[in-house]
Chains A and B, each alone.
Chain A
Amino acid sequence: MSASIRLKSLTRDFDVSKPWLNRVIERLPRATLRAVDDVSLEIPENSVYALVGESGSGKSTIGRIVAGLVPASSGVVEVNGIDIVSTGAEQAAEARRNLQMIFQDPYASLNPRWKVRDIIAEPVAIRGVATDGLAERLLEQVGLSAADAGKFPHEFSGGQRQRICIARALASHPRIIICDEPTSALDVSVQSQVLNLMSDLREEMGLTYLFISHDLTVVQHMADRIGVLYLGALVEEAPRDRLFAEPKHPYTQMLFAAAPRMDAFGREVEPPKGEIPDAINPPPGCHYHPRCPLATDLCRSVVPETRRIGATRVRCHHAE
């Protein structure tokens, strides 16, 4: 099985400096924010890889870099074996032909002035291919009716809109779909419908998903392999069952402890300690040490390397 997506030491810095005039007057240095910090991962074909983490952990940025919407600062992003960072624009566009994306906010991801038919057919129409009946067929495939093609997006609910987004993503027969929190804006009852639809479509069409989410129950339902991000760095990565059975990194353990659970109602939970630190001035050593119960002097001074323990990759001095 070959890898659909392969990231090697992917890094992305954002310039968050104040305007040059302020810097001169207030004598401030340039400031950068490392949104993605040396992330390496592989997503095999026909599998679901989930990225989880708190807000600001860089998971959406990784998705957008893979989609080519945000450039990488350094590193390698291979889509179907082609590095989209170093090749020319045309080859990168060619590599992304079979890559699509589903966005978080179904209210912002459909052009309100376009009819559903045109929205769904756009990825195909832009290549100059005839699109007769395409939108109607896809609408039925995602559980809407062909008659909806003549309507405008405002005539649909959030869940229906997300189905339209899925139909658009499928129109160009992609092999990879990046799902950026596709259900976090939806009601819980609608969430499961949309997730089941996505699972079914994946099996039918042999798709690969890069699934970005902060919702652990959703991830447990969907993913084959899970990567946990903290401050832009991958702190732990493991097959789903492995990760849920035996989380190695203290951050992962804290996430699991904090997540609400249906099967343990009324349990006492230690609330997560502290906040994500300032990404512009991250703490030295392991970025997690201010919140970590296991932190030692080693953690406060030395950045941990990624280590392999069984099927798990973990970035912690103390994990075993």
Chain B
Amino acid sequence: MQDRPTETLPPSEPSRLARAWDSDLAWSFRHTPVAMVSAAVVVILVLSAVFAPLIAPHDPFDPGSLNLMNGFTPPGRPNAFTQDMFLLGTDDQGRDVLSTILYGMRISLFVGFSAVLLALVIGVILGLLAGYLGGWVEALIMRVADIQLTFPAILVAMLIFGVAKGITPPAYRDQMAIWVLILAIGLSDWVQFARVVRGATLVEKRRDYVQAARLIGRKPFSIMLRHILPNVLNPVLVIATISLALAIIAEATLSFLGVGAPPTKPSLGTLIRIGQGFMFSGEWWILLFPALTLLALALSINLLGDWLRDALNPRLR
């Protein structure tokens, strides 16, 4: 059988890029202005956060570059003493608000992405196990999920944050704060991934392609990974997008409450907390611009998630 010359040419397959451009998803994207605009906003914000050290006019965390005389400079007007101009003004210590926003967004996005990734990995694994294995494994996982759902996610996150803070040595607290935030938000958010993946797994495991894989002796873990996982990823992608917005807001909330990112490494939430102290004394820009950035970021990620949900749901087409 093997010695027969194999003259069959490899069938011409269109490149990945061409297939992606032709896909239903890309078509829907090109015909949904909201999706395109929000994608553009997200891309601009993410890129400016990633390249903050290159595009920020000042380094807000280098105390040597700060001039206390520049404090409370209004946006777009020269400072009364130094004549320095700041596009979005400065805060009480003379830090450029635009630069702090760019650097703060880095931390917000990093925490958001990492927390969602953590929640996704935990949730998908537990959801697959619960849906495919059933029985006591499912009962245990889903009851834990139900119990966690009875608490507000922010409360769970604060609890984890408090415990983690208690067991880290004081010297490392500021350093560890970001990682503790990620852990806290990630652990408070896995439930919805697990529930959705479990539901989708229950549907997929009854389909005959899974039966065919069982018939030839594929092991359960292999079936979950190779057969079921690729078919439950659509809803996971949608939830991950919306979770990202929620995680960024959760991080901002924790930081706003003073239990998140430390003032030495401020995230958008920390900046808003700092800014609200000056809201009634007339320096509105310290609060407004970080808040607007957070709003734009969360809103466009959410809109993108909404579009993705509609585009990936065959029943809504």
Could you tell me which A residues sit within 8 Å of B by CB distance?
64, 67-69, 93, 96, 99-101, 103-105, 108-114, 119, 122-123, 126, 132-133, 136-137, 146-150, 168, 172
Contact = CB atoms under 8 A, between A and B. Distances in A.
Contacts of A105: 208
Given A103-B212, A114-B230, 13 more contacts: A68-B215, A69-B215, A93-B217, A100-B215, A100-B216, A103-B211, A111-B209, A122-B218, A123-B216, A126-B216, A126-B218, A132-B6, A137-B1
A263 B209 CA distance: 39
Contacts of B10: 150
Interface in B173-217: 207-209, 211-217
A122 B231 contact: no
Contacts of B217: 93, 96, 126
Contacts of A69: 211, 214-215
B281 interface: no
Contacts of A112: 231
Contact of A96 (B211, B213, B215, B231): B215
A110 to B, nearest CB: 6
Interface centre among B1, B215, B230, B231 (most CB of A within 10 A): B215
A133 B1 CA distance: 10
B227 interface: yes
Contacts of A149: 11
12 contacts: A64-B211, A68-B215, A101-B211, A101-B212, A109-B208, A109-B211, A109-B212, A111-B231, A112-B231, A122-B218, A136-B8, A146-B8
A101 B215 contact: yes
B212 A168 contact: yes
A150 B208 contact: no
A121 B208 CA distance: 17
A104 B211 CA distance: 12
Contacts of A108: 207-209
Contacts of A136: 8
Contacts, number: 62
A197 B219 CA distance: 32
B253 to A, nearest CB: 38
A137 B230 CA distance: 27
Contacts of A122: 213, 216, 218
Interface in B4-61: 6, 8, 10-11, 13
A148 B8 CA distance: 12
Contacts of B2: 132
Contacts of B6: 132-133
A295 B230 CA distance: 55
- Smallest CB-CB A-B distances: 6 pairs: A109-B208, A147-B11, A113-B230, A103-B208, A123-B216, A111-B209
B209 A110 contact: yes
A176 B217 CA distance: 16
A110 B215 CA distance: 14
Contacts of B215: 67-69, 96, 99-101
A146 B6 CA distance: 11
A100 B213 CA distance: 11
B66 to A, nearest CB: 54
Contacts of A147: 11
A70 to B, nearest CB: 10
A109 B209 contact: yes
B40 to A, nearest CB: 30
Contacts of B213: 111, 122
A150 B2 CA distance: 20
Given A113-B230, A113-B231, A172 B208 contact: no
Of the listed residues B13, B209, B227, B230, the one surrounded by the most CB atoms of chain A closer than 10 A to its CB is B209
A109 B13 CA distance: 24
A149 B207 CA distance: 22
B216 A172 contact: yes
Contacts of B11: 146-150
Residue from A93, A109, A111, A146 having most chain B Cβ neighbours under 10 A? A111
Nearest to B231: A113
A113 B215 CA distance: 19
Contacts of A101: 211-212, 215
A91 to B, nearest CB: 12
A88 to B, nearest CB: 14
A133 B4 CA distance: 10
B223 to A, nearest CB: 10
Residue of B214, B216, B227 most packed against chain A (CB within 10 A): B216
B106 to A, nearest CB: 35
Contacts of B231: 111-113
A168 B231 CA distance: 20
